[in-house]
Amino acid sequence: MMKTQRDAHQQKWIRHFENNRLHRPEPDWNAPFHMEEKKRRALAWSLAEYQLGDGGGPCRLIARDAESYRQSSPYTQMVTDHWFREEAEHSRLLSGAVQRLSGTFVTDTFAFRQFQRVRRLMGAQFEMLVLLQVEIISTVYYRIIRKHCGDEPIAAMCRLILRDESGHVSYHRDRLCQDHPGGWNLLQRAWFYFLGYACATVLWLGHGWALRALGMRDGDFVAQVHRGLTSFVRAVVRRTSAVSAGFISPASAKTDPIPAS
């Protein structure tokens, strides 16, 4: 990809992140709280683990070549830092929810350590692909929490995080389309689905019981994961086709955003 195109793409997303810092009403954490005990315990446990994973650990790229990727241009550095600033904000919001639920904060888990190892293992491009998968699967998680939590401040927190994650997923879509202007071949798509379902399985093994305790119906999680992965692949096809047909420029914002809900 030409450097000027990459710079234009990064600048577009820097503007997005700067705008997204505005109009963020804080959930009313002090609103009256009523929740069935079984549900409260499940939600507190699940959100405490999520608080660690969603911006609560090392909130930056940690792959072995992360710094050289980040410093490949001033725009790459800026857009990457904006992205992780929003992740840190998720951790802050989740802390508010854990406190509201009288939960216990988590500072380390086996799954979290393995996740960090996977992120360090390969290069920054692979790490970002894994983080994209986590964002797609987390979108499903936060939608289920928003729908079933029965608590307005926690639902408001989910709405804010979903708004951010929609931007993050769209940012990665644009980034990947710039890197693969001819679209993905069959093997790349199969790899994408494989990683996506692997992330979904890890989340389900850790948090599935808590989501069921909240009232999620069997099958909802898998159906939404499949929809999330498929809609991302379709968005990549749409965008790369539109760019190669000359309907939009590579740095254009004129494609369907990945829906937040």
Query: Interface residues with Fe ion (CB under 5 A)?
Result: 54, 87, 90, 135, 165, 168
Output the smallest distance, CB 39 to Fe ion, in A.
23
Spatial separation of the C-alpha atoms in residues 134 and 143, rounded to whole Å? 14
Instruction: Kindly state the tokens that stand for 222.
Output: 């898998």
> What value does the CA radius of gyration of the chain take, rounded to a whole number of Å?
18
Size of the chain, expressed as the number of residues it contains? 261
Spatial separation of the C-alpha atoms in residues 226 and 36, rounded to whole Å? 31
Lookup result for tokens 């004129």 = 254
Output the smallest distance, CB 180 to Fe ion, in A.
21
Give the residue with the Cβ less far from Fe ion, 43 or 243: 43
Output the smallest distance, CB 76 to Fe ion, in A.
17
Give the residue with the Cβ less far from Fe ion, 87 or 127: 87
Give the residue with the Cβ less far from Fe ion, 127 or 165: 165
- From the number of C-beta atoms within 10 Å of its C-beta (0-12, 13-18, 19+), residue 21 rates as exposed
- From the number of C-beta atoms within 10 Å of its C-beta (0-12, 13-18, 19+), residue 197 rates as middle
Lookup result for tokens 């099958």 = 219
Return the number of other C-beta atoms located less than 10 Å from residue 132's C-beta. Answer: 22
133 close to 228: Cβ distance less than 8 angstroms: no
Give the residue with the Cβ less far from Fe ion, 43 or 258: 258
Give the residue with the Cβ less far from Fe ion, 137 or 210: 137
Output the smallest distance, CB 166 to Fe ion, in A.
9
Output the smallest distance, CB 131 to Fe ion, in A.
7
